[in-house]
Chains A and B, each alone.
Chain A
Amino acid sequence: MSERTKTMQSLGTPNLIRKAPENFLSQEAIAEINQHGADETRRGFLRKSFMAALGGVGAAGSGLALANPQGDPAILEKQIWQTTLGKNVATEPYGTPSIYEKNLIRRESPGLTRVSAASVAFTPLQGLFGIITPNGLHFERHHQGWYNIDPNKHRLMINGLVKNEKVFTMNDLLRLPSVSRIHFIECGANTGLEWGNVAVPTVQYTHGMLSCCEFTGVPLSTLLDICGADLKKGKYILAEGGDGSGMTRTISMEMALDDVMVAWSMNGEMLRPENGFPIRLVVPGVQGVSWVKWLRRIEVGDMKYATKDEAIHYIDLMPDGLHRQYTSIQECKSVITTPSGGQQLFDKGYYNVSGLAWSGRGKIKRVDVSFDGGNNWRTARLETPILTKALTRFNIDWVWDGSPTIMQSRAIDDTGYVQPTIRQLRAVRGTRSIYHNNAIQSWKVDTNGEVSNVQVG
């Protein structure tokens, strides 16, 4: 234990002689006081310096006693925001988060890809609340870099098996009847690094290719109806992006007519450029690669297209050497986000354990949490709203006694599907897959309060 820690602990204990924190005055200040004595100004300065050196210990929660018997300096002292004039309205015309939130940002995983234009930036799930992902933190995955596309030059073409091949401008699209729905988007490779073993430390890197937003747009069925899509022969659509990779994905007509939409808005503002501005496809329940960004073309066809990302990448290698092609649905999954890997608990006692659950096949029905590595389970509280193909937030009480603990969460959706263990998944799919790992996640809490990523089994 460091000297500083010892000092703090004794400070926190009432009725003991308290040792002054070391070096709370600079050498210059000491020299000045020695030379000129302590007048009223210097007395005030001394008091402040001493408080600062205590570092606001008195403000700690968890029943920690006050360092200053008078009370907490955060209360007793006037703060600058109480005593001076604050900033004008619209000082930040498009606001940004507090400077105290600077740590919660999208991050690349070092070494994951060689080229950042074809890479991933992960959402910091460890610091988010509720189910909506702030637009600036929505994960990014690009295949050939992103552009800020001029909406006045953007076009959506619908061609193929339609009565009228049509072109829509942004003016046209925004005039059409729109819907707004909240859905999660998850990359098919989310958690893919962990098929073989534990590979990354935090929930940002294990599960951060996951976001959930309110999307506004026109149902694709409306556009297909306007163009007179041939629903007898047209069993598939091809969605194509306007980026350099011309990202292309096959989607079944059944889905296209169900809940797929051509969206321009995310959480009330226009899509961000890195998330597909000015329009992207929203394909609820299906892996993110199908949510084609900068959408420029929909083709109606009578067979699957086997484009690069559905013939080379987003395919699942099975133990017999066969690849599963057109795996798309993101099955029921959950993860505890707080506490989670790479976090530090400072004390025993009560914690609210919280996480996210979702299913590409429907709604979350129940989430169970285990604090003993999956031996015994308790059912968590589900927070509303509970929406289809959207994230659902769960919470559960936990009083930590300081002993080593393995936490897990297990989601069940309204089809009755129970999120599997990594062992069960590997038994069917082997260990060399990349995509669609929806295994139960385990976090170990050690006696030193450090939480780390582990796999059970």
Chain B
Amino acid sequence: MKPILASVVVATTVFSSGAVQAQSAQATPAVSKPKPYMNMGRNATPAEVAAWDIDVRPDFKGLPPGSGSVAKGQALWEKQCASCHGTFGESNEVFTPIAGGTTKDDVKTGRVASLTSEKQPQRTTIMKVATISTLWDYVYRAMPWNAPRSLTPDETYALVAFMLNLSEVVPDDFVLSNKNIAQVQGMMPNRNGMTQKHGLWTVKGTPDVKNTACMTNCAQHVAIGSVLPDYARNAHNNLAEQNREYGPYRGVDTTKPPLSALPSAGMMMVSTASAAAPKAAGPADLFKKENCSACHAPAAKLVGPSIADVANKYKGVANAQALLEKKVKAGGAGVWGAIPMPAQPQLSDADNKTLVQWMLNGGK
């Protein structure tokens, strides 16, 4: 039964019934007072919807018209993407690799054969992705990493074309466009590699594993199959400092070898971690906290230059400190390549000074 609500336009449409029925067991009868909040919010303008509604679905709904060549994609890639993903999309330095692990046979079958073997060390993006819309959508919405949503549709077509060229899906002279993208979908190496037949999509789905609640003599033989290797004992730093220093459960002091025997309760009074003086937050912590480490590493080039490279470049430059402080605050581009250094307006002058001093000192 449809409620009759002359004053509320929305509620008179066929869409309105039932939307709230599930959450309220004490739901009022269908013919009831109009819901007093039904006119909350305001209508979105077409320009607003266009600005935000950028998603592209597997049926290509939402895909803007345009085109881009492999060659243009390669040029863009080298400028904007290679620093994180490697020249051939092979880099595992910052993120998992984009390309590799697929063959021309996979393009024919639509199933990536290396997914069944243990030999392939890394599962790359192209090995897994079944839908080209996914690549297009993500590059357009979220890339490059430190300047999301800065690419045009044409640039996005070009970059997707280049990635597929790296994977031998399209030839070197290929131009990807909204007109031929559906055809290219028919060549995606793992287009037949997904299943949605499982019980983990809805609450009512059927689980695939069945255990029984046995209570006595359930295991013939209890065998330990895997333990943490000795070398990893302190890999997560001193566990004594990651637990409370009172109460019955303390952290193991992983800076020392395991105890040879049970220590007895008397040992509980020995404070495990407080001997180490609290570390004052230095420039290295600041560097991490302010997220500089997302783009700069101590010695290796990530998105931006390494700390060592910066220190080297400005060695002996008289006003380096002031120059860099200004750059950090206001951002800049062109000195280290095309990827801009974003402005850091949130940084206090004191923190800026500390950070620049530390960088110019090679991170020491």
Contact = CB atoms under 8 A, between A and B. Distances in A.
The secondary-structure label for the interface of chain B is loop
B233 A201 contact: yes
Given A321-B111, A436-B200, A301 B57 contact: yes
Interface in B58-91: 58-59
Contacts of B14: 232
Nearest to A436: B200
20 contacts: A124-B242, A126-B249, A144-B148, A157-B53, A163-B15, A179-B23, A198-B226, A248-B55, A305-B57, A308-B137, A312-B134, A326-B200, A344-B249, A346-B265, A410-B213, A444-B227, A450-B252, A452-B228, A453-B228, A456-B219
Interface stretch (B37-45, B156-164, B165-173): B37-45
A222 B265 contact: no
A56 interface: yes
Nearest to A148: B346
Interface string A338-378: 11111111111001000000001110001010001111110
Contacts of A246: 54, 141-142, 148-149
A25 interface: no
Interface stretch (B201-209, B310-318, B328-336, B350-358): B201-209
A303 B59 contact: yes
A105 to B, nearest CB: 8
Contact of B128 (A127, A199, A315, A402): A315
B275 interface: no
Contacts of B212: 418
A321 B193 contact: yes
Interface string B1-28: 0000000011101111111111100000
Interface string A263-288: 00000000000000000000001000
Contacts of B327: none
A344 B131 contact: no
Nearest to B297: A114
Contact of A307 (B17, B55, B213): B55
Contact of B248 (A322, A345, A373): A345
Nearest to A12: B266
B131 A311 contact: yes
B43 A165 contact: yes
B242 A257 contact: no
Contacts of A200: 228, 236
Chain A interface category by residue count: 35 or more
Given A219-B20, A227-B10, A323 B15 contact: no
B58 A172 contact: no
Contacts of B227: 198, 444, 452-455
A69 interface: no
Nearest to A329: B200
A244 B148 contact: yes
Interface string A432-457: 10001000001010111111111111
A202 interface: yes
Contact of B252 (A228, A285, A342): A342
B199 to A, nearest CB: 8
A105 B42 CA distance: 42
Interface string A402-414: 1000100010100
A252 B201 CA distance: 9
Given A163-B10, A306-B131, A229 B211 contact: no
Contacts of A33: none
Contact of B195 (A111, A227, A322): A322
